[in-house]
Structure 1
Amino acid sequence: MSLLAYPFHILSAIFRFIFQTLRIPIPNVPLSSLSFGGLFAALRAPPLEAHTEAERWVRALEEETGARSSSSETGISTGAGEAGPSSLRQRGTAHQPERVLPDFFIGAYEDALRIAQRELRIACIVLVSAEHDDDGPFKREVLSDPAFVGMLERENILVWGGDVRGREAWSAAQKLGATTYPFVAFAALQPPRGLNTSSTSPLMTVLSRHQGRASTTSALLRDHLTTSLLPRVNPFLARQRAQAAERELARRLRAEQDAAFEASAARDRQRAEEREMVEREKQRKEREEEERREQEEIAAAKADSAREAWRRDARAAFLPPTGGSPAPGSVRVGIRLPNGSRNTVALARDASVLSLFAAVDAALHPVDGTSSSSGTDAETPDALMHEHALGPDEWWGFKIFNSYPRRAVEYDSTRSVQDAGVEGSVSVELVSLERVGSARSATSGDGDEDGYDTEDE
C-alpha cells in the first residue's frame, strides 16, 4: 500500500511548491500519509465547528506569541456566538510585562458581522496564513502591539480572526477577496450607495482592506483608524446609536403604556365581573324572595280558605249556647271587643277554651247561614293549624286577656275555661301578622303602630 501512495506523495509536494511560490493558500489536506487508509480518513474527517476552530486558533496564537487575550484575566467563558478571550494565561516573568492580544470574537465570521451590525460597532477581520514568511512577525509585532490593541479596545472594535487553513477563515477570505496575507479588513454599517440601490436601510460595508506585511503594520493601521476610518464612520454610527436609543425608548414607552392599558383593562374587566356577579346575586336573591313571597301568599290563601271553611262548616258546633237561662254552675264571661262593643256568654266550667275562642271569632267574623256539622263530628281547628303551620295567633288573629289580673288566656282546645282561669270579663286584642287572613287585617285598621289594638277597661 505504501508503494501505491508514493505517486500521491510526489503530486502533493509539487502542488505545495507551486502554491507556496505563488503565495496562494491551500487547504491543509495531509496527503503525506504512507497509506490510503490515512488519506481516506483525512478526507472523511468532519470539519471543525466555527466556535472550535476560532478557539483553537486563539489558543495557538497565545502559545506562539506568548501573549494573552486582553480580557482573559476577567475569567469570561467563551461560547458559540459570544465574544471572549482564550482561557490560556501569559507565562511571562516578573521582569517582563505581559503582552496582550485583541479580545477576539469566538464564533463564526457571519456571527461576528451580525453582532457588529446589531451593536453598531466596527468589525476588524484579521486573516493570516501560517505558511507565509510574514505570519510570525505580524502576530508578534501587530496583534500583540499594546498601542494597536489599546486602540481597538478604546474604540470598542469587534475583532475576529483566523488562519485560512481553516474552513471558516478560508470562507471569509473568499468573501473579502483576500489574495495576500496577513490581511486586515474593517467593516461597519454604512448608508447604501449607488443609483441602483432602492433600500434606505444601512448596510454592512467593507470600509478598507489591508494586505501584505507592508500595509499591515501597527503604525499604518493606527494611523488609518485615527485619520480616515473613525472620523468617517463614527458620526454615522453615533447617529444610528441615537436613533436606536430613541427607538428603544419609544418601544419601552409603548410597552409600558401597553402594560398600563392592559392592567387598566384587567381592572375594568374585574370590576365588570364583580358588578355582574353582584347583579346576578341580587337577581338570585330577588327571585328567591319573590318565590318565597309567592309561596307564602299561596300558603296564606290556602290557610284563609281553610279558616273560612272551618268557620262556615264547624265553628258553630263549638259556640256556647245562646238564649234561655244559663246552665247551673256556668260562668258568665263578658267580652270586650276592639271596637268597644261588649258581648256576654255563659260557659260551663268544663267548657273547652276553644268555645271561648270560637265565641270571640264569631263576634269578629260572623258567617251567614248555619253550620253543616253537628257537635259530635265537628272538627277542631288544631289539625288545620298543624297542616298549614299556623300558630294560635296566626289562626285566630287575636289574643284574649283576663281583665284582672291581666293575664293572657293561652289557646288549648284540651283545657277547660276553669283550668285556664277564665272568669269575670276578658278583653280581646287583634294581632297584626303577615300570615293572618285579609278579612282579619281589614278589621285591625284602627290598631296602634305596635301591631295591637288595645282598649283598656
Structure 2
Amino acid sequence: MSGDMDQTSKVDTLREITGLESEDEAKRRLEYVEWDLQQAVEMFLAGREIPPIGASNLYPTLTSQPRGQVPSHPTDPRALTTSSSSPAFVPRGQPREQNAADPSQSSPLRILLRIVFFPFRAAVSLVSFLSNTITRLLGLGPLLVENESPRDANERFLSSFQSDYGDVHPRFYRGTYGEALRTADRQFKFLLVYLHSDRHPRTGPFCRQVLAEPAITRLVEESFVFWAGSIRSQEGAGAQHALGLSTFPFLAVVSPQRGREYGRVVAVCEGLVSSNDVRGFLAGVLDGHGMSLVAARLEQEERITNRRLIQEQNIEYQRSLEADRERERRKAEEDAKREKDEREAQLREEERQRLDRERRDRREQKRRKLQEPEPEKGDTVASIVLRLPNGSRVSRRFLSSAPLRDVFDWADVQGVEIALACLASNFPRRLFNYPEDADISIEDANLTPSATLLVEERSIPEVGPHGLSPAYPEA
C-alpha cells in the first residue's frame, strides 16, 4: 500500500495519522524505515523514537563471552543506547532501539490515538498480508530479488560496487555467502557481512567514507573474511532475513555454526555510523570474542598435531611390524636353508659311507681273488708294472690272454678309482678306460711281454648323482 504513494503523500498521510506538526520529523521517521508508511505508523503508535541525525552512539563493551550471548553489565540495560535511541552496536539478542524511560508511551493522547487509528492499522496489515500471500501463491517471490545464481549475483554486485565506489575498500570475498562462511571457519576468523541497499540515502556516504577508511581496510583484511551482497539478490535477501536487518548501513559479525545456514550472529552495527564507530565496533568484537577464535585455532592445531602423531606412530608401528616380519622371514629362510644343508650333508655322508662300504667290499673280494699265485714267467705271460700317483710302483704277472678287467681289478685293489681314472701306456701311448676296455685281452692291448701303465685322471670324468669322488683316494 505504502509503495504506491509518492514521498510527499506519505509525509502528509503520516502527519494526519499521528498528528505530527513537524514535516521534517515525519520525513525523518519515513527515511529511517526507508519510506515504509506502515512501519513508520506502527513505530509511532508503539512509542518508539528514532535517533536524530548526528547523534552520538553509545554501545556496550563486548566482553570475552561465548559468541551469541549478551554480555552482562552491572549498569541498567538502558545504558546500551542514548536517550534518543541512536543506532547502537549490540550483540545479537539485544534490542537496537529502546526508550523505556519515555513517559509519552502511556500518555492519554497516545492511547487515544491508538484507539482512533486502530482501524487504519488493521486495514494496512490486512492489505500487506493479502499482497504477500497472493505474491507467494503466484510464485513471483520478492519483486526486488533478482533471479540468478548466488555466484553470478555476487560477481555482478562486486562489479557494480567497484564501478560506483572504486576499489578503495576492504577486499571482498568473491563467492557465495556459504563459501565465505566456510572459509572463515577454516581460517578461524569471523565473517563480516555487509548488506547493501543501493536505494538508501546513507549507503553512498557509508561506502565512500567509512569503507574507504584505510584503518578499517587494514583491520578488516587482517582479522575478518569480508562478504558483501545486495539485498536485491536472493542470497542477500536471505541474509537480510537471517541476520535481522532493520536499517542501513548494516554490518554483522557472524561465526560459523553447524546446522545454521547463515551462521550465528555475534554482533551487528547498523544505522548512521562513522568510521570511528565502525572501528570501535570491530575492535570491540575482537576484544570480546577473539579469544574464542584463538581457542578454536589452538584446539584445531592440537587435533592436527595429535592426528599427525598418531599417523607417525602408526607408520612407525607398521615399519616395526614389517621389520619383524622381515626378520622372521629371513630367519625362516636361514633355518630352512640350514635344515636343507644338514639334510644334504647327511645324505652325502650316508652316500659316502655307502660307497666306502661298497668299495671296501668290492676291493676285498678282488683282493681275495688276486691272492691266487701269479703265473710263472713265459711266452704266454705278461709282466705289468703299475705306477701309482704317489710315485710308488707295483708289479704283477698276468696271462696274456687275461682280460684287462683283471688289470683294472688289480689297480682297484691298489686304491685307484678305476671309474674315474684311466690306465695309460707310453710306447705306443694308449689310454684304457673302465669298463669300456675291460674285455680287451692283455695281448690285444699290446702289453706283452711287459708294459708300464700310468694312472691318469680321465679328461671327461663321469658325474654321479652325488658329484665326483676323488680319483685317487687313499687305499
TM-score by length of structure 1 reads 0.53
Deviation at 1:178, TM superposition (A): 1.0
Partner of 1:150: 218
Picking from 113, 120, 130, the partner of 2:198 is: 130
Partner of 1:105: 173
Partner of 1:176: 243
Higher relative contact order (CA 8 A, sep 6+): 2
Deviation at 1:300, TM superposition (A): 5.5
What secondary structure, in the 3-state scheme, does the structure 2 residue paired with 1:187 have? strand
Deviation at 1:160, TM superposition (A): 0.8
Partner of 2:404: 353
Deviation at 1:175, TM superposition (A): 0.9
Q: Where in structure 2 are the equivalents of 1:66-105 lying within 5 Å?
A: 67-68=166-167, 100-105=168-173
Partner of 1:452: 474
Identity of aligned residues (%): 24
CA contact (8 A) 1:335 1:427 kept: yes
Partner of 2:154: 54
* Rounded Cα–Cα distance in structure 1 between residues aligned with 2:380 and 2:418: 33
Matched, 1:21 2:35: yes
Deviation at 1:140, TM superposition (A): 1.6
How many pairs does the alignment contain? 324
Q: Where in structure 2 are the equivalents of 1:218-237 lying within 5 Å?
A: 218-226=275-283, 228-237=284-293
What secondary structure, in the 3-state scheme, does the structure 1 residue paired with 2:316 have? helix
Deviation at 1:130, TM superposition (A): 1.7
Deviation at 1:278, TM superposition (A): 4.8
Q: Which runs of 5+ in 2 are unaligned?
A: 11-32, 40-138, 389-393, 456-462, 465-471
Deviation at 1:108, TM superposition (A): 2.2
TM-score by length of structure 2 reads 0.52
Picking from 163, 168, 174, the partner of 2:230 is: 163
Structure 2 counterpart of 1:209, which letter? V
Q: 1:128 to 1:267 in 2, by over 3 A?
A: same
CA contact (8 A) 2:381 2:449 kept: no
Deviation at 1:328, TM superposition (A): 4.4
Partner of 1:78: none
Q: 1:325 to 1:106 in 2, by over 3 A?
A: closer
Q: 1:24 to 1:179 in 2, by over 3 A?
A: farther
Matched, 1:247 2:315: no
Deviation at 1:21, TM superposition (A): 2.7
* Rounded Cα–Cα distance in structure 1 between residues aligned with 2:387 and 2:200: 138
What secondary structure, in the 3-state scheme, does the structure 1 residue paired with 2:245 have? coil
Q: 1:360 to 1:172 in 2, by over 3 A?
A: closer
Cα RMSD (Å): 5.5
Matched, 1:209 2:268: yes
Structure 2 counterpart of 1:152, which letter? V
CA contact (8 A) 1:187 1:206 kept: yes
Q: 1:207 to 1:16 in 2, by over 3 A?
A: farther
* Rounded Cα–Cα distance in structure 2 between residues aligned with 1:15 and 1:265: 83
Q: Which runs of 5+ in 1 are unaligned?
A: 1-10, 26-38, 69-99, 191-202, 338-342, 365-391, 429-433, 436-449
Deviation at 1:125, TM superposition (A): 0.8
Deviation at 1:127, TM superposition (A): 0.6
Partner of 1:416: 442
* Rounded Cα–Cα distance in structure 1 between residues aligned with 2:180 and 2:37: 27
Structure 1 counterpart of 2:442, which letter? S
* Rounded Cα–Cα distance in structure 2 between residues aligned with 1:219 and 1:336: 125
Q: 1:398 to 1:250 in 2, by over 3 A?
A: closer
What secondary structure, in the 3-state scheme, does the structure 2 residue paired with 1:60 have? helix
What secondary structure, in the 3-state scheme, does the structure 2 residue paired with 1:162 have? strand
Deviation at 1:452, TM superposition (A): 2.0
